[in-house]
Amino acid sequence: MTDIPLITSIAPLAASSDLWFVDIWGVIHNGVRPFASSVAACEAFRKKGGTALLVTNSPRPHESVMRQLDGIGVARSAYDGIVSSGDVSRSLIEAWAGRAILHIGPSRDLPIFAGLTAKPGATVDDAEVAVCTGLYDDETETPANYSALLEKLKARGVPMICANPDLKVERGGRIVYCAGAIAAAYAALGGDVSYAGKPHHPIYELALRTGSELRGAPVSKDRVLAIGDGVATDIAGAVKFGIRSVFIASGVYVRSGESLTAAAGRLFPSDKPQPVAVMKSFDW
């Protein structure tokens, strides 16, 4: 059992919010199509005078994320702006300008390097730093496929920048691994990993600044609500940053056939970061 309320409408919480930090993958879309109720909820909040900022652990800069959302069919009327892990990771990457950089991830993530002096091109044998944005092929690979590569990097003492702390996401009903899973495996070997995305402070600080700029005035943390499906990222990060959060159930954390009450009790014990409410789906 859990004392966390299970709600069916976000509207009551919207009344006490000026700014939403809305996760994208698992909340706005499933990697293939938008969730109509989520888009409608954000549109309703904006019509009430709220600001909906999409805050994502995508390793791509926000401009690239917007183009991806356009391609999936997410209406721009659902949000005011985007802040990505790619945005905040770029400063970590640029600190390695002129050094040998190994990119671990698919070519679609290369926009993270756009406009930077720091460029990838190194191999595992000569890299001075590794930038992990994901798996080379997340449709077929798992972190186990990277064991040899990570062991070589660790033997050479190469630090890693993880541009997407997410471990897994749900894509069209399938669970696929993200950069965070590779980084976790590297950290387990004793490798040095740096993060900037959720649940770490830099992305929340940028999001709060961006949201305040969009509203034309500073927004206090008690008027911010984070909405996400990531227990260790969206919920834990919000709690650490001092803002409220709502958990949206997804196949990443909620087991097939498991009741939402049981899932909430399992995922959010009293000694762990907790959301202020739990929802089966993101509805107005």
Question: pLDDT, tens digit, for every residue of 210-251?
Answer: 999 999 999 999 999 999 999 999 999 999 999 999 999 987
Given a cut of 60, is residue 255 above it in pLDDT?
Answer: yes
The residue-averaged pLDDT of 188-202 equals 96
Q: Provide the residue ranges of all domains of the chain, joining segments of one domain with +.
A: 11-86+199-279, 88-195
Question: What pLDDT sits at residue 2?
Answer: 64
- For a pLDDT cut of 70, what percent of the chain falls above it? 99
Cβ-Cβ contacts under 8 Å for 149 (sequence gap 6 or more): 104, 124
Query: 11-86+199-279 with 88-195: one CATH topology?
Result: yes
Q: Enter the tokens of residue 176.
A: 């696929």
Neighbours of 121 (CB within 10 A): 11
Residues forming a β-bridge with 170 = 175
pLDDT in tens, 138-181: 999 999 999 999 999 999 999 999 999 999 888 877 889 999 99
Domain 88-195 has CATH 3.90.25.10: no
Q: Which residue has the tokens 């985007």?
A: 82
Q: CA-based Rg of the chain, rounded to a whole angstrom?
A: 19
Among candidate residues 235, 225, 166, 230, the one with its CA nearest the CA of residue 195: 166
* Helical spans, DSSP H, in the chain: 11-14, 36-47, 62-72, 85-94, 147-155, 179-188, 201-215, 236-241, 260-267
- pLDDT tier, 256 (very low <50, low <70, confident <90, very high otherwise): confident
Q: Which residue has the tokens 């690239």?
A: 64
Question: What pLDDT sits at residue 141?
Answer: 96
Where in the chain does DSSP place strands (E)?
19-22, 51-56, 81-84, 101-104, 129-132, 160-162, 168-171, 174-177, 193-195, 224-228, 244-248, 277-279
- pLDDT tier, 257 (very low <50, low <70, confident <90, very high otherwise): confident
CATH pick for 11-86+199-279 out of 3.30.1330.10, 3.40.50.300, 3.40.640.10, 3.40.50.1000: 3.40.50.1000
Given a cut of 60, is residue 1 above it in pLDDT?
Answer: no
CA distance 25 to 213: 24
Question: What pLDDT sits at residue 144?
Answer: 97
pTM value is 0.88
- For a pLDDT cut of 90, what percent of the chain falls above it? 89
Query: Comparing 155 with 270, which gets the higher pLDDT?
Result: 155
Q: State the helix-helix crossing angle for 62-72 and 85-94, rounded to 10 degrees.
A: 150
* Average confidence score pLDDT of the chain: 95
Neighbours of 274 (CB within 10 A): 20
State the first-to-last Cα distance of the chain, in angstroms, to the nearest integer.
Answer: 25
pLDDT in tens, 5-50: 999 999 999 999 999 999 999 999 998 899 999 999 999 999 999 9
